[in-house]
Amino acid sequence: MYAAVKPLSKYLQFKSVHIYDAIFTLHSKVTVALLLACTFLLSSKQYFGDPIQCLGSKDMDYVHSFCWIYGAFVHVNASTAPLKNGASQCQPDAKGSTSMDERRYIIYYQWVVLVLLLESFVFYMPAFLWKIWEGGRLKHLCDDFHKIAVCKDKSRTHLRVLVNYFSSDYKETHFRYFASYVFCEILNLSISILNFLLLDLFFGGFWARYRDALVALFEKDFYEWNRIAMQVFPKCAKCEVSRGGPSGSPTISDHLCLLPLNVLNEKIFAFLWVWFILVAVLVSLKFVYRLTTVFYPGMRLHLLRARARFMPKSDLQLALRNCSFGDWFVLMRVGNNISPELFRKLLEELYEVKSMGKKNPPGADEI
């Protein structure tokens, strides 16, 4: 099993230069790794057996294939939960023959793996787009500090290169850089919300039911947990198989089928239920933070000052003279990829460069 998910460890390896922040990484990288791991688990037949197993005495390969393709069903009023005394109960259709209106077909069952795989692609899309649009800018600006950390002369040389870079006019380039990142953050938020709606539609009220199920699990009411979970992921169902009779007329035989993967499905989606909500809340808070930095210039100054080990405010204002919002964003990204000491030195040298042109810090800076 470890061999199946081992490639994901390389995907989650930390890079020397981080082009994503922590919440972006949780949404577009850790979530993708979790979804792919769940996909591998559910598709590993060697560990969990056949996805559907039906009772019968002959032509069972045909029965299994028929019930897998055309779907099994449960009675809309049937109870498939275990009894409180511990006995098992599996009667998806206690009334015998039922009309189509009284049946609830397990239509999602054969699509779960594909849905998880599709979700992994969708969640990865913002990270993929940002990696293309970012174009290796942060690696070009910061990577040398990680390679030459033991050489002070080379470190000072590259620091001067950064000072020259931020002293130049890249306002349009940095604005596009910032706008692309914000677009990816909006995409993260949209994907989180859309994911809830689609999964709720796919499982027929999945989210509302699982909230109560998880509350029961937290309260250690395992009977209630099983009762609710089996409404979403039943462990047994009925299947009617049609065959051609001796005279050519179709004959129908009914079979009781077990759905063993739902034992794993109910636990996987219970975990994903909590994970998706956590990620959605964090992404929403990050979007509020982004709006705050856009509309409150003072907050941008305080964030830079905190990263620069509380450099004097007047010096920092002068160092940031004529800096646009895009320049501030790139500066913050650089500050997140180098040590606070080096970042303060960078801002102090920017201060020295700016002070040569104007001794007094302006009253109204863009930052």
Phi and psi at 74, nearest 5°, equal: -125, 155
Rounded CA-CA distance 259/19 in Å is 43
Taking Cα atoms as reference points, which of 13, 327, 7, 21 lies closest to residue 188?
A: 21
Contact 130, 181 (CB under 8 A): yes
The answer, yes or no, to whether residue 53 has pLDDT greater than 70, is yes
Contact 192, 27 (CB under 8 A): yes
Query: Which string of DSSP letters, residue by residue, matches 288-341?
Result: HHHHHHHH-HHHHHHHHHHHTTS--HHHHHHHTTT--HHHHHHHHHHHTTS-HH
Name 5's Cβ contacts closer than 8 Å, sequence gap at least 6: 36, 37, 40
Q: Report the range of poorest mean pLDDT among 34-43, 165-174, 244-253.
A: 244-253
Task: Kindly give the interhelix angle for 325-335 and 171-203, rounded to the nearest 10 degrees.
Answer: 70
Average pLDDT, the chain: 79
Per-residue pLDDT band for 127 (boundaries 50, 70, 90) equals very high
Rounded CA-CA distance 235/222 in Å is 16
Taking Cα atoms as reference points, which of 56, 74, 75, 76 lies closest to residue 65?
A: 56
Q: Report the range of poorest mean pLDDT among 94-98, 187-191, 246-250.
A: 94-98
Residue 309 is predicted with a pLDDT of 78
Q: Report the range of poorest mean pLDDT among 51-65, 70-84, 290-304, 346-360.
A: 70-84
Rounded CA-CA distance 223/240 in Å is 30
Any idea how long the chain is?
A: 367
Q: What is the pLDDT of residues 230-279, one digit of tens each?
A: 878 888 888 888 776 666 667 777 888 888 888 888 888 889 988 999 99
Give the start-end residues of each E strand in the chain. Answer: 53-54, 73-75, 103-105, 236-244, 250-258
Q: Which two tokens stand for residue 110?
A: 């054969």
Residue 129 is predicted with a pLDDT of 95
Per-residue pLDDT band for 84 (boundaries 50, 70, 90) equals low
Residue at token pair 């009894």: 83
The answer, yes or no, to whether residue 104 has pLDDT greater than 60, is yes
Residue 184 is predicted with a pLDDT of 95
The answer, yes or no, to whether residue 156 has pLDDT greater than 90, is no
Neighbours of 182 (CB within 10 A): 15
Name 11's Cβ contacts closer than 8 Å, sequence gap at least 6: 29, 32, 33
Residue 77 is predicted with a pLDDT of 61
Contact 232, 203 (CB under 8 A): yes
Per-residue pLDDT band for 320 (boundaries 50, 70, 90) equals confident
User: Which whole-number Å values give the CA distances from 341 to 8, 137, 338, 348, in the listed order?
Assistant: 34, 21, 8, 11
Q: Report the range of poorest mean pLDDT among 43-47, 90-94, 133-137, 326-330.
A: 90-94
Across the chain, how many H-helices and E-strands are there?
A: 17, 5
Residue 246 is predicted with a pLDDT of 64
Residue 2 is predicted with a pLDDT of 52
Q: What is the pLDDT of residues 196-237, one digit of tens each?
A: 888 888 877 777 777 888 888 888 888 888 888 887 888 888
Residue 363 is predicted with a pLDDT of 39
Highest mean pLDDT among 50-64, 198-212, 330-344: 330-344
How many CA atoms, within 13 angstroms, populate the side-chain half-sphere of residue 358?
13
Q: Model-level pTM?
A: 0.80
Rounded CA-CA distance 310/300 in Å is 13
Residue 89 is predicted with a pLDDT of 53
Q: Provide mean pLDDT across the span 290-297.
A: 89
